[in-house]
Structure 1
Amino acid sequence: MSSTTPRRGLQIAVVLTGVFVSSLDLFIVNIAFPDLGRSFPSATLSDLSWVLSAYAITFAALLMPAGRWADRSGRKKAYLSGLVVFTVASAACAAAPSLGLLVAARVLQAIGGAMMLPSSLGLMLPLFPMERRGTAIGLWSAMGGAAAAAGPPIGGLLVEADWRWVFLVNLPIGVATVFLGWWTLREIREESRQVPDALGALVLAGTIAAVVAAIVQGEDWGWGGARVLGLFALGLLGAWYSLRRAFRHPTPVIEPAILRMRAVAFADLATLLFFAGFGAMILASTLFLTEVWHHSVLRAGLEITPGPVMAAVFAVPGGLLTTRYGARVVGLGGSVLFAAGGVWWGVATGGTPDYVADFLPAGIIAGIGSGLVLPSLSGAATLPLPPERFATGTAMLSMCRQVGLALGVAAVAAVLGSRPDVSAFHTTWLFMAACGLAGGATLLAIGAERRPVAAYTLAEARE
C-alpha cells in the first residue's frame, strides 16, 4: 500500500482516535474529582481515589495478557473489541448511582482500554517504514499530550453541567470509530495460539491493589499497623510469585525475554517512575486550584491547560529528536524540565492565588518536559522489539505507566488525606520532581545504542 493513500491516512486517524479517547478519559476524570466528592459526600479522599486507582490497577494487570491476545488473535479484533467495551463501560460510569458502582464500571472501562491500547501501536507501526517509526511513536505519544491538553478545558465545561458528562462524551466518538475501524483497518496477527496467563493477571492485579491500598490507607490505619504491614507483605509475596511465574508459564504476564533486553527493561522502569510523578502532578494540581485557591472547576481546567498543550506541541519534535539523538539524552533533558516544574510549584505556591507568577510558569516547564519524555520512553521500550512483539511490548510499557499512575495517585491521597494544606501540596510536588529525576536517571542506564533497531530479536534477548 502506498504511504500516501487516503486509506492509510484514515487507518492512522482511526487508531489515534482510540488512543486519544482512552487518554482523554484520564484527564477528564481528574478534573471532575472535586465534583465527585460533592456527589458522594460521605466518601473520603481515599475512597474517591479508587475511581482513578481501580482503573489504573485493572488496566495495568490486563495489558500484557491483552497484548498477547492482540498479537495472536488479531490486533484489529482486539482494538475494536476493546473500544466497544470501553464505550459501553463509559455509559455505565455515567449511569452509576453510587461510588461503589462507579468504581465497578471503571474496572470494566479499564478492561476495554487494556484490550485497545497495546493493539493500537501494533496496528500503527506497520503503517510506517522503519526509518519513519520515530515519527509514528511521536504521533502516538502526541495523542496522549493532545488529550491532556483537551481534557482540562473540556472536562471543566462538561462538569459545569454534570460530572456524568465526562463519561457520556466517549459514546459518540467510540461508536463512530468502531464503524470506521471495521471498514478501514486490516488484520495483523501471529500464527501461535497460546493462551494468555489469566491467573498471573489476577495475581498481578491483587499485588498492585495491595500496595496501593497500603499507601492510601497508611495514614488512617497507621503505617506500622498490622493491616498496612499485611498489605505490603501481600504485595511482596505477589511480586515474588509474579516473577517466578514469569519464568515458568509459556505466556506469562511479564515476559522475561522482553525484559532481558536492556533498553526495554530500563525504559519500562523509567516509565513507572516518571508516571508516578505524572499521576501525582495531575491530581494535586486539580485539587490545589479548586480546594486551596477555591477556583471553579472550569477555571481550574483552563488554568491547567497550558502545560498539557506544551506536552502535545513538543511530543512530535520529541519523537524526532529521540530518533536522532537517542532516548537517553532527550528523555533526561525532558525529565529535568519536568522536575523543575515540580520544584517551582513546591517552593513558589502559597495560599494566596497568583496564577501568572506562581502556577503558570511551572506548568509550561513541566509540560515541555513531558512532551520530550513521553516519546523517549515509548521509543526506548518498543523500537528495539521485533514487529511481532509490538503489541506485547506496548502492553508492558503501558502497564508500567498505569502502575506508576496508581502509585502517584495513592501518594497524593496519603499525603493530602490527613492535612490538605499548602505544605502538604508542596510535598506532593516535590514527590513529583523526585520521580521525574528518578525516571530520567534510569533512562541513562540504557547505555549507548550500538546497532540499528531492526537488528534486535527476541532470540538475542534470551542469550
Structure 2
Amino acid sequence: MNSVEVQEDRRTVDSRVVLGIVAVGVLLSSLDLFIVNVALPKIAEDFAGSQISGLSWVLNAYAIVFAALLVPAGRLGDRGSNRTTFLVGLGVFVLGSALCAVAWNTGALVGFRVLQAVGGALLTPASLGLVLTATPPEKRAMAVRLWVAFGGLGAALGPVFGGLLVEVHWRWVFLVNVPIGIVALIIGWRLLPSTRGDGGALPDGLGALSLIGAVASLILALVKGTDWGWTSTGVLTSFVVAAVLAAVFVTSSRRHHSPVVDPALLRLPNFALMVGNAVLFNIAFAGMLLSVVLWAQNVWGWSALKTGLAIAPGPLIVPIVAVLAGRFIAKIGAGPVIAAGGVIFAAGIVWWALAVTLTPDYAGGLLGGMLVTGLGVGLTMPTTFAAGTAGLPPQRFATGSAVLSMARQLGLAVGVAVFVAALGSPIGPDATLEAFQRGWYVIAIAAAAAGLTGLAARMPRPAVAQATAVA
C-alpha cells in the first residue's frame, strides 16, 4: 500500500474502530485455543464410546493447524489485502464454529476444528496488519499493546467462559462464536479500510509448504510427547521431520526471489530479539495456566467453573496494565519494562511455590500469585509485540506479526510439555506439592530468562512519543 492510500484510510476510518472490529476476531480465535478444554468430559459423554485420549485431537488439531498456517497467511495478507484476508478468515472461523456445534461424532468435530483453525490463522496476522495500517506511527505502540491484551484475555479467560457455557451444554462453547462473529463480519465489511498489498510475485511455494510442515511436525511432537513417550518412534520421527523441513525452508528462503519470510525481517531492530522473548515468555505463560488448572481441579477438587473464576483476576488486570505501561516505556524504555514484566511474572510463580498448600486456601495461596502474574503479563506481552512490530515496513505488517504470533504458539506448546515433564506423574489427587513446586520453579526460570532477553529492546522515537502522550 502506498502512503496516499494509507492516509485516505486514516481520514475515513478511525483507528479505534478498526481495533474494535478486529479485536473481536482475535478474542474469539484466542478463546478457542483454551475454552474447549473444559468441555471435553461432556463431549465424551455425548459421543458414546469416545475416549478423552481420542478427543484430545479436538485441542491438538486446532493448535497444530493454527500455528502452522500463521506465517503463510500473513504473507498472503501482505501480498493481497489484509482486509479481505481478515474477513475471509473470520467467515471461515464462524462457519467452522457453527459446524462444530452440530458435529455428530469425534471425527467430524476434529475436522471442523481444523476449519476453525484455518480461519483463525487467516484473521490473526491480518488483524494486526489492519491495525498498524490504520494507525499513525506515533500511536502504533499503544494500538499493538491493546491488540495483544485482547489476545491474552482470550487465552486466560477461556476456562471461565468454557465453564459457564458447559453448564448449559458443551455445544454452546462453539455456538456462541456464531452471532458475535456474524456481527463483526457485517460491521467489518462496511467499516474496515480497503487495503492493497505489495502485489509482488507469488511467494515461494516450496518455502511455504516446508514451513507449514516443519511447524506442524514440531507442535505435534510437543503436544503428543507425554502421551506417546518422548523417545517413541512417533515423537522422534516428528522432531526429525521438523528439522529437515526447517532446513528446506531456510535454504529455499535464501534462494527464492519472493520468500515467505524475508530474511531481512530478522535484521530489523528488536525483531529477532522479540521473537525469542515471545517463545520464552509463553513457555512460562502456558506452564502457569496449566499448573493452576491442574492444581485447582485435580488436587483441590474444584469444578471447572470455580477454577475458571479463580483464574479471572489475573487476566482482568492485563488490559489496564497494558495501557499504563506506556508511562514506564516513556520514562525508562521498552527493554526495562519487558525485563520487569518477566521478573514480576516469575515472582508470582514463586509466590505459589512458597504459599500454596494442600489444604484449599484461595486468598492465602493462589490469589496473590494470580494478580502478580497478571501484572507481569500486562507489562511483557504487549510491549514485546509493540517493540517487535515497531520497525516493520508497511508491506510486511501481517507477515511480521505472524512470525511473532507463531513464536507465541511455539512457546505455548513447549510450556505445556516442559511443565508436564517437570511435574512428572501422577497428575492427579496424588500429585505431591513438591512436584508442583518443582514445575513452578522451572517456569519461573523461563519467565526470568524472557525478561533478560528483553533488556536490549529499544522503542523508536515515534512510539516513545506516543507513550509520553498517553502518560
The answer to whether TM tops 0.5 is: yes
Q: Equivalents in 2 of 1:184, 1:273: separation in Å?
A: 37
AA in 1 matched with 2:200: R
- Could you tell me how far apart the structure 2 residues matched to 1:441 and 1:384 are? 21
Match among 74, 78, 81 for residue 88 of structure 2 = 81
Shift of 1:49: 4.7
CA–CA separation in structure 2 for the residues paired with 1:262 and 1:124: 20
| Structure 2 residue 454 is matched with structure 1 residue 443 | yes
Q: Does 1:355 align with 2:372?
A: no
Aligned partners of 1:51 and 1:291: how far apart in 2?
Answer: 21
Question: Residues 236-247 of structure 1: matches in 2 within 5 Å?
Answer: 236-247=243-254
| Structure 1 residues 175 and 245: alpha-carbon distance in aligned structure 2, compared to 1, 3 A threshold | same
**3-state SS of 2:255 partner:** coil
Shift of 1:148: 4.5
What SS is found at the alignment partner of 2:344? helix
The 5 A counterparts of 1:62-81 are: 62-81=69-88
C-alpha distance in 2, partners of 1:192/1:246? 19
1:317 matches 2:328: no
What's the counterpart of residue 23 of structure 1? Answer: 30
Cα deviation per residue 1:101-148 (whole Å; 9 max; x = unaligned)?
Answer: 333322221111111111112111233322222221122122224435
Q: CA offsets per residue over residues 34-67 of structure 1, 9 Å max, x none?
A: 555666785356x555433432322222112111
Aligned to 1:387: 394
Measured in 2, the distance between the counterparts of 1:12 and 1:125 equals: 9
Which moves more between the two structures, 308-317 or 210-219?
Answer: 210-219
Match of 1:300 in 2: 307
* Alpha-carbon distance, 1:367 to partner: 0.6
Structure 1 contact 28–166 (Cα < 8 Å) conserved = yes
Check conservation: 2:204, 2:256, Cα contact below 8 A.
yes
Q: Tell me, which stretches of 5 or more residues in structure 1 are unaligned?
A: 455-463
- Higher mean C-alpha deviation, range 240-249 or range 202-211: 202-211
Residues 160 and 297, structure 1, Cα contact 8 Å, conserved in 2: no
Equivalent in the alignment of 1:459: none
Compared CA separation, residues 321 and 253, structure 1 to 2 (3 A) = farther
Secondary structure, counterpart of 1:352 in structure 2: coil
Q: Which residue identity lines up with residue 126 of structure 1 in the other structure? A: T
Amino acid at match of 2:82: R
**Alignment-mate amino acid for residue 173 of structure 1:** I
Q: After superposition, give the CA deviation of every residue in 1:375-402 in whole Å (9 maximum; x if it has no partner).
A: 1111111011122221111111111111
Contact 1:23 1:148 survives alignment (8 Å): yes
Amino acid aligned to 1:172: P
Equivalent runs, 1:51-450 vs 2, <5 Å: 51-148=58-155, 150-219=157-226, 221-319=228-326, 321-322=328-329, 325-412=332-419, 414=421, 418-420=425-427, 421-422=431-432, 423-446=434-457, 448=458
TM-score, L = length of structure 2: 0.86
Paired letter, 1:60: A
Residue 161 of structure 1 and its aligned partner are, at CA, apart by 1.6
Quickly say closer, same or farther: Cα 1:94–1:281, change in 2 above 3 A: farther
Measure how far apart 1:187 and its partner are: 1.2
Give yes or no for contact 2:9–2:134 (8 Å, CA) kept in 1. Answer: no
Instruction: State whether residues 219 and 417 of structure 1, in contact with CA within 8 Å, keep that contact through their aligned partners in structure 2.
Output: no
Q: For 2:227 and 2:306, how far apart are their aligned partners in 1?
A: 32
Q: Which moved more, 1:333-342 or 1:55-64?
A: 55-64
**Taking structure 1 as reference, are residues 57 and 253 closer, same or farther at Cα in structure 2, changes over 3 Å only?**
farther
CA positional deviation for 1:10? 3.2
CA shift digits 1:271-312 (9 cap, x unpaired): 011112212222332232122211111111111100111222
Moved more, 101-110 or 77-86: 101-110
Q: 1:362 to 1:198 in 2, by over 3 A?
A: farther
CA shift, 1:331, in A, is 0.7
* Paired residues, number: 452
* Contact preservation (8 Å) 2:28, 2:177: yes
- Whole-angstrom distance in 1 between the partners of 2:115 and 2:43: 19
Aligned Cα root-mean-square deviation (Å): 2.9
Q: Secondary structure at the match of 1:25?
A: helix
* Residues 13 and 191 in structure 2, CA contact (< 8 A), matched pair in contact too: no
Aligned match of 2:3:
none
SS in 2 for 1:134: helix
1:69 shift after superposition: 1.2
Q: Using the alignment, how far apart are the partners of 1:221 and 1:442 within structure 2?
A: 33
SS at match of 2:270: helix
> Does the 8 A contact of 2:146 with 2:319 survive in 1?
no
Conserved? CA contact 1:63–1:114, under 8 Å: yes
Deviates more, 1:230-239 or 1:384-393: 230-239
Q: Which moved more, 1:335-344 or 1:88-97?
A: 88-97
Query: How much does 1:326 deviate?
Result: 2.8
Alpha-carbon separation, structure 1, partners of 2:9 and 2:76? 29
Q: How far does the alpha carbon of each residue in 1:59-96 deviate from its partner, in whole angstroms, 9 at most, with x for none?
A: 22211211111112111101100000111111222233
Which of 42, 51, 62 aligns to 1:43? It is 51
The answer on whether the counterparts of 2:40 and 2:52 sit within 8 Å (CA) in structure 1 is no
Q: Shift in Å at residue 208 of structure 1?
A: 3.2
**1:320-374 deviation line (CA, Å, top 9, x unaligned):** 5335533211111111111122222234333321111111111110011001111
The whole-number CA distance in structure 2 between the counterparts of 1:310 and 1:230 is 42
Whole-angstrom distance in 2 between the partners of 1:76 and 1:450? 27
TM-score, structure 1 length as denominator? 0.88
